[in-house]
Structure 1
Amino acid sequence: MRQPDVEIYLKDSDQQAVSDWLNAALGSCTPWLQKGQTFKCATANGAPVTWLPNAVGKWHCLLIESEETPWEDDLAFARAAHAALGVEIRCAPGGWQEEEGEEDADRWIKINREGEQEFIWRTA
C-alpha cells in the first residue's frame, strides 16, 4: 500500500547533493525557501518537500508530502537515497499510528554499506 508521504533521515549529506538527486529523480524542483531552520521547495508535480537540517542530532530529515513519488514507501525512498547519495539513511519500517504504542515508534531501519538492519532508535 502506497504511503501518503515519504520521510527519511540522512547522515552526512548536504542539501545540494540532495537537491541534485531530487532534480534527477523527480524533475526540476523549485528553489529552496528557508523559514527558520526549515527549508521547503516543490517537486515538478507540485509535491511539497521539506529539508530539516540536524532534525535529530546530526541527522537531516527529508520529507515529501505526496503519494505521487516514484517510491511506494519510506523504505523504497531510503534505498534509493542510499544508492544515489552513498550515506547512511534511516527510516521507519512502515507507517506508524499512535495506537501502536511508544515502543513501535522507536523501531527503525538503517541502510548503510553493511546493508539493511532493523534497530531501536530512541530519538526523544
Structure 2
Amino acid sequence: MRQPDIEIYLKDADVDHKAITTWLTADIGPCSEWAQKGQTWKCTAGNIPVTWIPKAVGKWNSLCLDSDQTPWEDDIACARAAFAALNVEVRCAPGTWVEEENDEDADRWIRISADGEEEITWRTS
C-alpha cells in the first residue's frame, strides 16, 4: 500500500538542501526556490511539497515529501533511491508510523548504507 507521505533521515553534514535539489529534480521534477523559516527549509519538487530539516535528530537531517504521488511506494524505496543518488547513509521507518505504536516498535528503523540494508534499533528521543 502506498504511504500518504515519505520521511527519511540522511546522515552527514555534506548533504544539504542543494544536493537534495539535484536529486529531487532528477527523480521528481524541477524544484522551486527553497524558503527558510527558522531551521526548516521548504520547496516544491514537481508538485510535491518538500521539507528539509538539517540536524533534526543529532547529525541526522530530515527529508519529508508531503504527498502520496512520489515515485516511491514507501519510505524504504525512497531511502534506497536517496542512498543511490547521494551516497550517504539513510534511515527510515520500516512502515507507516502510527501514534499508537509501542516504544519498541517506534525504535525499529531500516538503515541503508555502503554496508547494505539492515534493520536496526535507533532511539531518537
Q: TM-score range by the shorter chain?
A: over 0.9
What TM-score comes out, normalization by structure 2 length? 0.95
Structure 2: distance between partners of 1:122 and 1:100: 14
Question: What stretches of structure 2 of length at least 5 have no aligned partner?
Answer: none
Question: What stretches of structure 1 of length at least 5 have no aligned partner?
Answer: none
- RMSD of Structure 2 on Structure 1 (CA): 0.8
Superposed counterparts of 1:9-20, under 5 Å: 9-12=9-12, 13-20=15-22
Please state if 1:27 is matched with 2:29: yes
**CA deviation vs aligned residue, 1:38-96 (integer Å, no higher than 9, x gap):** 00001212x21000000000100000000001000000000000000000000000012
Q: Which residue of 2 aligns with 1:36?
A: 38
Over the matched positions of the two proteins, sequence identity in percent amounts to 63
2:68 match: secondary structure: coil
Q: Which residue of 1 aligns with 2:95?
A: 94
> What is the identity, as a one-letter code, of the residue corresponding to 1:44?
G
> What is the identity, as a one-letter code, of the residue corresponding to 1:11?
K
Q: How many residues matched? A: 123
Offset at 1:100? 2.3
Structure 1: distance between partners of 2:85 and 2:63: 14
Superposed counterparts of 1:1-124, under 5 Å: 1-12=1-12, 13-45=15-47, 47-124=48-125
Stretch deviating more after TM superposition (4-13 or 94-103): 94-103
Runs of 4+ off more than 6 Å = none
Offset at 1:16? 1.1
> What is the identity, as a one-letter code, of the residue corresponding to 1:26?
I
**CA deviation vs aligned residue, 1:103-122 (integer Å, no higher than 9, x gap):** 11110010000100101100
1:70 match: secondary structure: coil
